[in-house]
């Protein structure tokens, strides 16, 4: 095989893999809860602060169902007062799509870094923290069209301070979360 034939073959394989991939992006709204609405009789370990968060995201799905992408979100206390919590995070999405149709079913993790400010958890350095964000969730969506899908999800979220102080010492939130996402793209 000549170099030209090899390059054409590699280009064709790359083009086919891109054409067969799925992907979407959209917005979401979620909140922390002390228990899942569908498991009222089964308590889940938590210290829920009742925070809400919202933002945007985008991802791609390869032929094998592997999900990868990114997100940005804002998080705050809906009853914000002087000691309330506000912050923002950005990071990566990874996961696996189990089922595509008639209902989309996926397991995803969202991992990122950002900042949290609060009056309730002050340290000698102030009340702001560089923090880690991690969320593991199960998503279920109904593709309304080939390009739009509402998604509901339930998961578990952990947020903890990294700097200043010892990791997860001054601010540490671990709680169930539920929310909705609206997706547009190649579903």
pLDDT digits (tens, 9 = 90+) for 134-158: 999 999 999 999 899 999 999 999 9
Residue 164, pLDDT score: 78
Specify the residue for token string 């804002």. 74
Instruction: Output the CA torsion sign for 88, 90, 91, 96.
Output: positive
Residue 16, pLDDT score: 44
Residue 186, pLDDT score: 80
Q: Give dist(CA 121, CA 32) in Å, integer.
A: 19
Domain boundaries along the sequence of the chain = 21-186
**Encoding tokens for residue 2?**
């000549």
Q: Give dist(CA 38, CA 42) in Å, integer.
A: 9
Q: Tell me how many degrees the CA angle 50-54-56 measures, rounded to the nearest 5.
A: 155
Contact present, 135 and 153 (Cβ < 8 Å)? no
**Cα Rg, the chain, nearest whole Å:** 20
Q: Give dist(CA 84, CA 102) in Å, integer.
A: 42
With a cut of 70, list the residues of the chain below it in pLDDT: 1, 3-21, 39, 80-83, 119-126
For 15, list phi and psi in degrees, rounded to 5. Answer: -60, -45
Residue 174, pLDDT score: 87
CA dihedral 16, 17, 19, 25 (to 10 degrees): -170
Residue 170, pLDDT score: 73
- The burial of 27, by beta-carbon neighbours within 10 Å (0-12 exposed, 13-18 middle, 19 or more buried), is given as middle
Q: Give dist(CA 134, CA 181) in Å, integer.
A: 17
Residue 18, pLDDT score: 46
The pTM of this model reads: 0.80
Fold of 21-186: Porin (2.40.160)
Q: Give dist(CA 61, CA 20) in Å, integer.
A: 9
Residue 17, pLDDT score: 47
Residue 24, pLDDT score: 87
Instruction: Output the CA torsion sign for 57, 63, 64, 65.
Output: positive
């Amino acid at each position: 095989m000549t170099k030209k034939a090899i390059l054409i073959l590699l280009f064709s394989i790359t083009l086919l893999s891109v054409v067969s991939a799925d992907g979407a992006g959209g917005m979401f709204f979620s909140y922390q809860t002390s228990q899942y609405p569908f498991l009222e009789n089964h308590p889940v370990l938590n210290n829920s602060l009742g925070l809400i968060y919202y933002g945007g995201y985008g991802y791609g799905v390869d032929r094998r169902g592997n999900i990868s992408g990114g997100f940005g979100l804002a998080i705050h206390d809906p009853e914000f007062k002087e000691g309330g919590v506000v912050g923002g995070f950005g990071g990566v999405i990874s996961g696996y799509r189990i089922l595509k149709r008639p209902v989309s079913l996926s397991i995803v993790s969202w991992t990122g870094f950002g900042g949290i400010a609060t009056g309730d958890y002050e340290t000698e350095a102030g009340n702001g923290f560089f923090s880690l964000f991690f969320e593991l969730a199960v998503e279920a969506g109904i593709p309304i069209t080939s390009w739009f899908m509402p998604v509901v999800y339930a998961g578990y979220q952990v947020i903890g301070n990294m700097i200043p102080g010892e990791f997860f010492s001054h601010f540490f939130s671990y709680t169930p979360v539920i929310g909705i996402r609206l997706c547009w793209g190649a579903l």
